Chain A
């Protein structure tokens, strides 16, 4: 058998404490469409970024057509014929499609424009992708922008085309069109790596599938050997759910109630649509789902930074649709935001000033702000939450990710002690944390519940949810499509609901 077009072997890559790739393998055959599946954080994007030269692996081998090669920077990858289309396009909005396609090609300034145009037109003809070359990219629909990205990669000579979750932003019609054009591309001699979370897309369009989990390859199979049941099992693992990290508590009265909540984002897209959910006192409810299915909107609407366009939202029995963040805080709602740098930290202000954020009006009910009080509270927090930093006056922006999260935890859990906190919304609270920090945070969540607090834990990490939650709701396309009580926890069933509930 001839060697594969591309082979990655034993690729290892870590980001700080996080091991993103833990000896991952991957082979791409010439002329195939190869699906790459895996939960959020499995390492799909990282692995392909290594192939595209955007990251340098800490260890591992790379072969092209059986020959060892090294890719140190994107240019090396381009020379080897590897092109990648990222989930977030890298187009220049006010350039035309043609300008975007030819952008960055070496020596392009010396070539005659009409000749370049003829080249691009010939390329479009050959691969069966047509875009209006003279329109500005920002005026084109997303599906067409994506074609521009693909053409850009092909124009630079890509024989291996990596598409990272290309279908997430597309309408169903655009998805059909994309999958059809992938076939044409393959006939034109291109091999495709297709990253997705949707099983039916893999089963429809790919020749082979690789499933990744926790930074490693689980399996590579032919489409004929793949069926939804096994794919989900490979993705989420077959290990029995981990033992619960906590005693089930007898839930009290509802703290958070959502009934058919709809949230529309600034683009006018309904990011939550008919979402219903209840969290009771002493209960930890997990929300599972592939990221991008409404998790951000759910966290925002509960925290009070987004308003529901329709539906009912009650906090401790009282309607709260129109309440802002401050009202929520007064009602005892606390948040651990998903993006700690964007939503959690005042980077140029001190640790002390960060520790009091959110409860500053509690400590300073009058006009005066007393920095000494903040410092004292910060020294306390640094000790109790083991925050590694030079001291209360250090700028918070200098802290590492894990220490930032401890800082936020200190803020949240101390507030819990100070005033009757009722509901904690935590969104991916342990993402990017090392094991001790994760354990630490889990223990705090459990403690919070044990004291009668309600927790809404939105997480991409299914194991975390299986370990901690009393109930798990699965968020898919902006609504909770399935709920599982602890007795019903079953990786496969949850995984299936997460990937769109393909019938077995």
Chain B
């Protein structure tokens, strides 16, 4: 990653290519809050930051990250901010203000979108934020472009004094490809003291200059090396592609044998549109297919361009020839190209693949969240009127499914739980006759819960916030957060003490261990009966963190099948069916429970819940 070997070809993942690009760009500063599919980028940057002489941090949230980058830029530093789609939306105010103020040192945001929401709650399209904020937008398709666009974006950013947004998608972040390395700068860009009359402010009169910056970029983009065209000089059928659709499109054209007569315009600079460059091919076109991920962003922009120029073009895209939602794939792109070119749709070869049964996502074996949500369901059912539970985002998002006993009724975005619950909690003074519960992870607690916590405590909402303190940002791969005592650059610092923070805020606080099921349920039920703002910290490290610990004192958990009631009355597969740990499986031959020793991490909770005492725990602490 830090080898100074220009011209060397390396096989790289997209996220690695972004890191390499940042190193080649000589960044001074990098900040991020984790989020798929770009979570790995800052982790890698943190590891090489000292060696390359820049600073890298896992910020508490994306707003912190972007605004810190803005600070670095003011001192002429090159700053890279890495966020996922939702994170970019979190920064909306900061982004729009920074776009009006402009930048000094280059400021590049990499925002990763997750079409089809493989590891997200939903699909989003970051590109609208560039249009809305009035900043330039690039999108790579190959790993090489992912690397090359980083230094290119920094140059653009400094050339016009504006932030640059690079949009990437899951296939780019996680895909692999050859990357030819570029040279490394000797040292990072020189910082400059901020002078008395330096200004980087967001005021209304900066709107005009910001638009001018955008216009001047349009000119650069007309000749940008990021855009390519292949095909006839004056194509009748034209494909315009941005992002991963391009590779599918090029392959399909060749496979269908219509690549000669079809124009193929690949755009890497998406905003502002290189209008002349596009019009050169668009003028002759009768039909245009637009290939892009998530929303019809280019489609709308090119339609507007065609309309303005009075062109009569038929557009194919997300509105008609392609599914309106979901990631593009070779099949949908091929059939869209057939629709465009009239080529016959090739018969699909039977894949011979077995259709795998769809398995619902679940918490890991030994996950503390499973115990918390098991107890929460029991507690809710014991209420006279079952309470309302508000979800939040983390691994515990899965609590909305069977893994968490279908815990919650509503879930919005990171940090929303405490606020949604505050609203409900206030209404309990106005006739809403039920308990209100919400939850957050420890990382989310710092990310966006704090203001809501203050709000709910100050206004004394009747509610319970459960902090699922698993000592980790587990969902995205164990990045440090302020509660962990670690930083991205590997420093050990003083961890923030959540109970102390809560004490200072002034809400009622209790700490329980969700694996101590009897005591934890008592504490939970007691807290549910307390008026005002209550916080229960369910503390038990993430199973993945504990695996190492436990390997020191191996625990064997097994089922005594002679005692097991199995599916008989009195149990009905309580361990595997209700508790649902992946370690608790079923012996179909004997019709009895079984523990999969490979999956089981030995937490021993199922043994506490088995109604017949058939589950035995051997070794470990208890022994």
Are A and B part of the same complex? no
